[in-house]
Structure 1
Amino acid sequence: MPKYSCFISFLIVCLSSPVACANIVLGGTRLIYPAGEREVTIALANKGVTPSLVQSWMDDGATNSTPENSSAPFFVMPPISRIEGQASQTLRILFNGAKLPEDKEAVFYLNVLEIPPVAANSKDKNNLLLAVQSRIKVFYRPEKVKETLEEAAKTLKWHLIKEDGQWKLSCTNNSPLHISFANIQVTKDGGSLGNKEGTHMVAPGKKEVFRLVRQDVVRTGAGDGQVQFEYINDYGALKMLSSQAI
């Protein structure tokens, strides 16, 4: 009876960085692409002892994008590379000059797909091969945007509301920058409400409503509350700020 080799590929999307769920580690959690720059770069390091094949591309927010169907206005060089064990590779990201807004940031995503090699002694055997995809944000920042993320975060407008018995927190971002959150906590009347749905981002000129999970008893209806939040700066560090929710 002939033997058949089964190739099973599981795609795991990793959004945190350094991305350590595989051998390939990205050199950051996000990139800022200043308008007018010829290119920006990011380092990839292979922390394993065996070589890995890496494919890289940009997308405009479509999580199911591929190098063939992506419409992001960027080139990634090299698009495919082999990184030896304990070696590194620099990715170059180049803007193609497409028309983008000049008064606010635009966000795109860098995808790095690692495909580990098949062991030489695995011929005629069933193989389980894990392909690991890492995806980080790339912010294209126009020259006219001079505001810092800290300045933008301080101008956020928060509103604490209660709808159908459920607490929600709206956040309005009137700045030209994207603001990403790692944690949001609201204190009101001695009670505490936290956002437990993971990281959120509010785009320039947009409003997002976050569902709040009750942690302690909050005794009154909608009204003032103290908001503490951690936003993620240009370098991937968490910064804590507080504001008043009305």
Structure 2
Amino acid sequence: MLKKIIYTFILIAITLTEVYANGVQISGTRLIYDGSKNNASINISNNDDQVYLIQSWVTQNPYSKKASDDIFITTPPLFRLEANTNNSVRVVQTGKKLPSDRESVFWLNIKSIPSTNKPDGQNMLLIAVKTQIKLFYRPANLPGKSAEAYKKIQFINKSGRLAINNPTPYSVSFKSIKINGKDIANPPMVLPFETQYVNKNVSVNDNVSWQSINDFGGITLEEHATVRSNNNAAN
């Protein structure tokens, strides 16, 4: 019988407060790139007794396979992470201009591939785990505070549908949104100066409560407001 080793790669996207990929731990669920600096970095630890190969790259959104090499590069893009050691991945802007009046959002992908021995005559399953975290490019000198942006969100009745307006230059990632005490499934991230429509029927003066995810991956205090009419919404 022909002896062979079968390698199967399984890609898994994980979003947790502390992200684990087998024995690999990534130090956060988001990375803030301060536009006044020339790079941003995130720490990667190998708490396992085996070696991992770490690959990293930046994409434009979580469903795109296109790398943002014309805007960001990661360094080192591929490296060996020894057992029980740590290293960092740096994200560097290549020089292409991004909007200076608002945050831009990308995705940092980190894939860990475990090493394996190759016993003769045994089939083996090699699992590679891909972790995807948000990368926020934050230009220098934006007005206001990122930590306060979620408090300024507007909930608007537009022809009976719920519109969520973000009038700030910061992205807001919602942890939860409740209308009259009932959760909205899969609350969105609303980009700066944009409006997201949610498949939810609402009326003016409905009660809204919400929480967002802050720069450190923590959950904010709950805010409360009422649904506004379209006529009273700020431009």
Give distance in 2, aligned partners of 1:40 and 1:79.
14
TM-score (norm 1): 0.84
Rounded to whole Å, the distance in 2 between the matches of 1:228 and 1:62 is: 27
- In the TM superposition, residue 119 of structure 1 has moved relative to its aligned partner by 2.6
Q: Which residue of 1 aligns with 2:169?
A: 176
2:136 to 134, 139, 163: 139
**Residue 84 of structure 2 aligns with which residue?**
86
**What's the counterpart of residue 155 of structure 2?**
158
Distance 1:59 1:161 in 2: 33
Counterpart code for 1:170: A
- 1:30 corresponds in structure 2 to 30
SS at match of 1:169: strand
2:44, 2:87 within 8 Å by CA — same for their partners in 1?
yes
Between 1:229-238 and 1:19-28, the stretch displaced more is: 19-28
Contact kept in structure 2, 1:161 and 1:222, CA below 8 Å: no
Q: Deviations over 1:99-147 (max 9, x none)?
A: 11011111111110000112343x3322111110011111111123132
Question: Structure 2 length as normaliser, TM-score?
Answer: 0.88
Following TM superposition, by how much is the alpha carbon of 1:159 offset from its aligned partner in structure 2, in angstroms?
Answer: 2.4
Distance (Å, rounded) in 2 between the aligned partners of 1:208 and 1:44: 34
SS of corresponding position for 1:12: coil
Which of 182, 185, 200 lines up with 2:188 in the alignment?
200
Q: How does 1:94-243 map to 2 (within 5 A)?
A: 94-121=92-119, 123-160=120-157, 169-187=162-180, 192-197=181-186, 199-212=187-200, 222-239=203-220, 240-243=222-225
User: What secondary structure does 2:92 align onto?
Assistant: strand
Write the deviation string for residues 64-83 of structure 1: whole angstroms up to 9, x where unpaired. 426xx544511211111111
Runs of at least 5 residues in structure 1 that lack an aligned partner in the other structure = 214-220
Aligned-residue CA RMSD (Å): 2.1
Kept after mapping to 2: 8 A contact 1:186/1:227: yes
Contact 2:204–2:226 at 8 Å: present in 1 too?
Answer: no
Q: How many residues align?
A: 227
Percent identity of equivalent pairs:
28
The gaps in structure 2 that reach 5 residues or longer are: 229-235
The CA distance in 2 between the partners of 1:53 and 1:11, in whole Å, is 14
Moved over 4 A (4+): 160-163
1:56: which partner in 2? 56
Tell me, yes or no, if the aligned pair for 1:227 and 1:244 is still in contact at 8 Å: yes
Confirm or deny: 8 A CA contact 2:10 2:128 kept in the other structure. yes
